[in-house]
Amino acid sequence: MQIERYYKDVAATAVITAIIGEIYIYPFGTEFRFTAGVIAISFLALYFSHISELVLIPCSGAAVFVFRLFLSMAVRHAPFAAALDLHYPSFFFYLAYAVLLKAGKIKRLLHSPVSFISVMTLADVGANFVELFIRHEMSMEYFQDIFTMVVGVGLLRSIITFSLYWLIERYRILIVKEEHQKRYAELLHLVSELKAELFYIKKSTGDLEHAMKEGYEIYRILSSGCKSEGREKLGKRALNLAKDIHEIKKDYLRIISGVQELLPEEKIEGMKLSSIVSIIRANTERLIKASNINVEINTSIEFDPVVRNYFSMFSIINNLVSNALDAVENRKGLIRIRVCMNDDWLNISVTDNGRGINPKDLPYIFEPGFSTKFYEDGSISTGLGLTHVKNLAEDIGGSISVESIEGKGSIFKVSLPVDNLQ
């Protein structure tokens, strides 16, 4: 596959150079020409950096020669000998150009514009004089007449080549950066979801531990009392319950261990809160654009700590922003994310101008399973989003509260101790 690609790149370069090479001028009233093909082969030699100049450029030069020979014979009806004599010097231009670029180590100079343009200009000028010499058009008087133009054209072609390469490279870096940010945001979102599941597994492990103790306590009490046949059976059932719960607990611990090995650890140095908010904002704006809804997101970061447990922070803010996005529905929406510090507490607020919350529902919105959101298929949401946010905030040592006016919007406020974040 690599070899096949190599030959395809060489062939494509040769064809492109030959075609673009037909854009030319005759500057001196002779058969010598300046062509745009030199710009094409210069750029492609840099673009296909895995192919040596000593292979790519001479192959393209051979293609230029053959193409011009064909055009002279097929279109202009020139005799083969005349066409051959007219165009074969052009091949030596490309051959000399390749040797001079290779000798000047042009590909190593891409980060030094002045050196790059100087070497490429000298290679262009030198190759032109090689072609002129083969065409027997060189003399001292003629050299003085054409020198300025040859250097000028060489300099112009070098600048154009470098500019094209620089623009393409900047565009490529921009695309790669955007794609990297998108993938990182998706990965962070996925990991935060896994962390949420892990949180509940750990919580369930504690619940199972409690149930196991309760089951064993029932067995102990029943065993110490009157040992009637019914109580013996009840005691055995209670003991079996404790054994079953103990097995479930061991399974949960195995799951936790496996998931923790798969998940990346939250590094000690953590992540800046502004970076977390930026990722969530970019992710949400892509969703807004894809959904074709009119929602604006504003952010205000007055305090920007480095957060150690940034997956949890991502889950908290992302869930609140997602809920705010659902709340604005089809109206012109506005979501504000504000971060500030009050004493030793980090305060995060997410405000929307959505439909608001019914006062009767306010006491229950953080309860597991409570939801007023219905999907398109008629099914109701699980109602675990805000519960998860509340659990995460409390796990860090903080709290969450809400203020809402039905029909006007809501504001969710999360307060977290700064010392527990860093």
Which segment of 155-159, 185-189, 403-407 scores lowest on mean pLDDT? Answer: 185-189
Strand order in the sheet with 333-342: 295-301, 333-342, 345-352, 409-417, 399-405
Region 250-256: mean pLDDT is 67
pLDDT in tens, 160-219: 988 888 888 887 777 767 777 777 777 777 676 666 666 666 666 666 666 767 776 766
Which segment of 154-168, 172-186, 247-261, 376-390 scores lowest on mean pLDDT? Answer: 376-390
**Hey, what domains does the chain have and what are their CATH numbers?**
2-138 (1.10.1760), 185-262 (1.10.287), 271-420 (3.30.565.10)
Q: What pLDDT is attached to residue 375?
A: 47
**Strand intervals (E) in 256-325:** 271-272, 295-301, 306-307
> pLDDT-based confidence at 399, cuts 50/70/90?
very high
Q: Residues 195, 196, 202, CA angle at the centre, nearest 5°?
A: 85
Express the helix, strand and coil content of the chain in percent, nearest 5 each.
Answer: 65, 10, 20
Strand-pair partners of 300: 338
pLDDT in tens, 313-372: 888 998 899 889 888 876 688 999 999 998 889 999 999 998 888 888 888 888 765 665
> pLDDT-based confidence at 263, cuts 50/70/90?
low
- CB burial of 33-56 (b: ≥16 within 10 Å; e: otherwise) equals bbbbbbbbbbbbbbbbeebebeeb
Q: For residue 264, give the H/E element and its range.
A: none
What predicted TM-score, i.e. pTM, was given to this entire model? 0.47
Q: Does the structure show a pLDDT above 70 at 126? A: yes
d(C-alpha 122, C-alpha 367), whole Å: 76
* Furthest CA-CA distance within the chain: 128
3-class DSSP state of 75: coil
